Amino acid sequence: MELLRNIADNYYYMVAVVLFVIGMYTMLTHSNMIKKVIAMNIMDTSVFLLFVSVGYLSGGRAPIVDEGLSAAAYANPLPGALMLTGIVVAVSVTAYALSLVVKIYRYYGTCDYDEITDIRSRE
Amino acid sequence: MGPLEHLPVLMVVIFFCGAFLMPLLFRWARPICAPLMVAILAAALVMAIIILQSVYQLGPQLYHLGGWPPPWGIELKVDLLRVYMLLVLFVISLWIFIYALRDLGNELKEELIGWYYTLYALLVGSMAGIALTNDLFNLFVMMEICAITACAIISIKEDRECLEASFKYLILSAMGTGCFLLGVAMLYMATGYLNYDYLHGSLVEAIALYPRNLLLAAALFIVAFGTKAALFPLHVWLPDAHASAPSPSSAMLSGLVIKIYAFALLIVFYEVFPAEMLQGVPLNEIILWLGSLGAMFGSIYAMLQTDLKKMLAFSSIGQIGYIFMGIGFNHEMALIGGLYHVGVHAVTKAMLFMAAGVIIYATGVRKISDMDGIGRNLPLTMAAFAVGSASMIGLPGTGGLISKWYLSLGALEMGRPFFVIIILISSLLNAVYYMPIVINAFLYHGEFQFRVKPVPRVMLATLIFGMIVIIISGVFSRPAVVLLEDAVSRFF
C-alpha cells in the first residue's frame, strides 16, 4: 500500500520516466528517421518535465523576493532556468538532425533506414 | 594576478570568438583565416602552459564565471589533472589543424572550408570546457556543443556514407545526453547542487537517504559517457563515423573526442561520487570488464576489416578499452597508465589517421590489400605508420609500452594477474592486424600498382612530428608520469 501511495504522490516523476522510456525505445528501434528525431524530442522533454517538477512547490510563489516571506514560500527557479538552456540545446540538435534527414532523403528518396539498407545492398 | 586570473575562461572563450569570426573572415579576408586559427590554437596552448606553471606554484585554482560564487554560479577549476588534459588537447588539435590546412582542400568543397574552421574551433573550445568545468549542467551544455560539432565535421563532406554515419552518431549521442541529463536530475533531486565540490560533500549524507536514486544516476552516467566514448558494447556508431569522415576529422574524433568523454567519466566518478558510493556496488568492476571486453573485441573486429580507415576506427574501440580499464581498477598505477594512454593514443591514432589520409591523398587507395609495396613509393608515410603501429602494439621505445606497463603494474598490485593476460592478448591481436600492413608495404616483391601523387611537405612534416612525439613519450616518459602521479595522488 505504501508503495502505491508513494507512486500516487509522485506521479509526475512516473510520467517523466514512462515518457523517457517511450522515447528511448522508439529512438533505438524505429527505422524511420523522422520518428527517431521525434522520439529524441520526447526523451528530452521527459527529462525537462522531471527537472521542472523537482523545483515545483504546490502553492509556491514566483521567486520575486517579497519582504516578510520565508524562503520556503517560493518555488525553486533554478531548474526552470536550467531547462530553458536544455530546450535551446534540444532545439539545435533537432534542427541539425532534421537537416541531415533532408540531405539523406535527397540521396535515397526515402527516410527509412531499412529501405536505405535495401537500396545499398542492391547496388 | 591581474589579467592572468581570467586565463581559465579565456581558454574556452577564445575558441568561441574565433568560431564566430571565421565565416565572416572567410568571406571578406580569406587569407588570414588559417593563420588566425593557428594563432588561436597556439595562444590556448601558451595559456595552458602558463596555467600549468601557476598550478605548480599555487596549487589548484577555481574561477567563478561572471563573479557568481557557487553553488549558484558556474565554476571552472584548474588542477594538474585538467591541465594535463588541456595540454594534450591543445597540442594535438594544433598539430591536426596544421595537417588539415593541406588535406581539407582535397576532401571538401572550397567554400565549406571557412565553416570547417568554425566547427573545428567550436569542437576544441567545447572539449576544453568539458575538461575545465566544475559544474554538471555546464558539462551537459559543453557535451552537446561537442556532440553537434563532432557530427558536423563528419557530415560536412556531404557524401552518402558521411551523412548516414553522422545521423547514426547524432542519434546515439542524443541518447547518451538524454541519459546524462536524467542522471543529473537524479543527483539534483537528492542534493540540490550541481557543483562538483558541493555535490561531493552532500552526497556522503544523501547516499544513506536515497541509495537507489544515486545508483540509478551512476548507471545512467556509465551509459551516457560509455555511448559517447564508444565503450564496448555501446560502440556501434564509431566505425562508420570515424571511417567515413574526412581524414583530419577522423584524427580529431578518434584522437581526442572519445577521450574527453572518458576523462569526464573519470572526473565524475573520482571527484563527484564519494568513495562509499562505489563500495557497495561493483561499478568500477563493470567499467573494468567492459573495458577489457572492448580491448579484446575491438581488436578482433579490426582484424576482419578490409578498409584501412575502418580498421583504424575499430582499433580505437580496443584502445579506449585500455583507458576504461585504467579508470576501473581504482588503483593509482593503473589510473596513471590509463591517463598516459589518453595522451599516447591521441598522438598515435591521430598520426595513423593522418598517414591514412596521406595515402588516400597521394594514391586514392583505401583497401588494405591494395597497399602492398607502397613503402617504396611513400617511405616516410609508411615509416610513420610503422612507428604508430609499434606504439599501438606497445613495443619498447614507444609510448604504448609505458601506458600498458603502468596498467599491468596496477593490475598486479591489485592482485588481478588475469587482466595482465588480457592486456597481453589484446596487444598480440594488435600486432596481428597492424604488422602485416607494415611488412607488406616494405617487403612486398612486386611493384605498387597505383599512380602516386607527390605529397606536400607540410603533411610529411606533421607526420615526422608525430613520430618524434611517440618516441619521446616512450623514452623520456618520466616528466609526464611524475605530473600524473601528482595529479591523481589525491584520489587514493
Q: What is the pLDDT along chain A (123 residues), one digit of tens a residue?
A: 788 887 787 788 888 889 999 999 998 888 899 999 999 999 999 999 988 888 777 777 777 777 776 777 777 788 888 889 999 999 999 999 999 999 999 888 888 888 888 888 887
Which pLDDT does position B3 carry in this prediction?
65
Residue B125 confidence (pLDDT): 93
Percent of residues, chain B, with pLDDT higher than 70? 99
Task: Say if residue B184 is exposed, middle or buried (CB neighbours under 10 Å; 0-12, 13-18, 19+).
Answer: buried
Q: What value does the CA radius of gyration of chain A take, rounded to a whole number of Å? A: 21
Query: Does residue B91 register a pLDDT over 90?
Result: yes
pLDDT score recorded for residue B194: 87
Q: What is the mean pLDDT of residues B152-169?
A: 88
Question: In which band, very low, low, confident or very high, does the pLDDT at B397 lie, cut at 50, 70 and 90?
Answer: confident
pLDDT of residue B2: 62
- Which residues on chain B are in Cβ contact (under 8 Å) with A86? 140, 181
Structural contact between residues B398 and B391, judged by C-beta atoms closer than 8 angstroms: yes
Rounded mean pLDDT of B75-85? 90
Chain A touched by B210 (CB under 8 Å): no
Residue in B175, B302, B315, B308 with CA at minimum distance from that of residue B244: B308
**Residue B477 — φ and ψ, nearest 5°?**
-85, -10
Q: pLDDT band at B118, cuts 50/70/90?
A: very high
Contacts of A103 in chain B (CB under 8 A): 155, 158, 163
Identity of the residue in B137, B148, B188 whose CB atom sits nearest the CB atom of A96: B148
Q: Cell 602494439 identifies what position?
A: B393
Which residue is listed with cell 588570414?
Answer: B32
Joined together, the cell numbers standing for residue B108 give 571538401
- CATH code of the domain made up of A2-58+71-122: 1.10.287.3510
A76/chain B closest Cα distance in angstroms = 10
- Per-residue pLDDT for B132 more than 70? yes
> What size, in residues, is chain A?
123
Contact A107, B180 (CB under 8 A): no
- pLDDT tens readout for residues B181-230: 999 988 888 888 888 888 888 888 888 888 888 888 888 999 999 999 98
Mean pLDDT of B1-7: 72
Structural contact between residues A50 and A13, judged by C-beta atoms closer than 8 angstroms: yes
Peptide bond into B233 cis (omega under 30): yes
Whether the upstream peptide bond of residue B71 has omega within 30° of 0, thus cis, is yes
DSSP notation for B210-230: -HHHHHHHHHHHHHHHHHHHT
Q: What are phi and psi of B418, to 5 degrees?
A: -55, -40
Check: CB of residue B324 under 8 Å from CB of residue B291. Answer: yes
CB contact under 8 A, B175 and A44: no
Q: Which three cell numbers stand for residue B55?
A: 598550478
Cβ pair A36:B171 closer than 8 A: yes
Element (H, E) at B63: strand B61-64
What does the pLDDT read at residue A10? 79
The average confidence (pLDDT) of chain A is 85
Q: Which residues of B touch A78 (CB under 8 A)?
A: 72
Tens-place pLDDT, residues B20-38: 998 888 888 888 888 999 9
Interface A:B, Cβ pairs < 8 A: 77
Report the residue of B74, B164, B173 to disrupt the A interface, i.e. the one with the largest count of A CBs within 10 Å. B164
Cβ neighbour number for residue A95 with a 10 Å cutoff: 12
- All residues of chain B having their beta carbon less than 8 Å from the beta carbon of residue A40 are 171, 174-175, 178
| Integer Cα distance of B401 and B392 in angstroms | 8
Q: Residue B454 — pLDDT band, cuts 50, 70, 90?
A: confident
What single DSSP character describes residue B195? B
Residue B152: its chain A contacts at CB < 8 A?
Answer: 96
- pLDDT tens digits, one per residue of B276-329: 777 777 888 888 899 999 999 988 998 888 888 899 999 999 999 999 998 888
Q: Are B106 and B361 in contact (CB under 8 A)?
A: yes
CA–CA min distance B292, chain A (Å) = 26
Q: Give B192's DSSP letter.
A: S
**In this structure, what are the phi and psi dihedrals at residue A20, rounded to the nearest 5 degrees?**
-60, -45
Q: Is the Cβ pair B171, A51 closer than 8 Å?
A: no
Residues B344 and B340: their CA atoms lie apart, in Å, by 6
Q: DSSP assignment, residue A61? A: B
**Torsions phi, psi of B81, nearest 5?**
-60, -50
**C-alpha span between B418 and B159 (Å, rounded):** 45
Alpha-carbon B186 to chain mean position: 28
Rounded CA-CA distance B351/B248 in Å is 10
Q: Given this model, what pLDDT does residue B27 score?
A: 87
Looking at the predicted structure, is the pLDDT value of residue B384 above 60? yes
Instruction: Using alpha carbons, select from B135, B308, B157 the residue that is nearest to residue B245.
Output: B157
Residue of A100, A114, A117 best to disrupt the B interface, most CBs of B under 10 A: A100
Q: pLDDT of B411-428, one tens digit each?
A: 888 888 888 899 899 999
CB atoms within 10 A of CB B397: 13
Q: Is B367 helix (H, G, I), strand (E, B) or coil?
A: strand
Three-state SS at B444:
coil
pLDDT digits (tens, 9 = 90+) for B319-376: 999 999 988 888 888 889 999 999 999 999 999 999 999 888 888 888 888 888 887 8
Between A59 and B435, name the one with better pLDDT.
Answer: B435
All residues of chain B having their beta carbon less than 8 Å from the beta carbon of residue A27 are: 171, 174-175
B278–chain A Cβ distance below 8 A for any pair: no
At a CB cut-off of 8 Å and minimum separation 6, what does B450 contact? B363, B364, B365, B370
Within 124-143 of B, beta carbons closer than 8 Å to A belong to 137, 140-141
**ipTM of the prediction:** 0.92
Q: What is the mean pLDDT of chain B?
A: 88
Q: Which of B245, B233, B230 is nearest to B164 (CA)?
A: B245
Q: Where are the domains of chain A?
A: 2-58+71-122
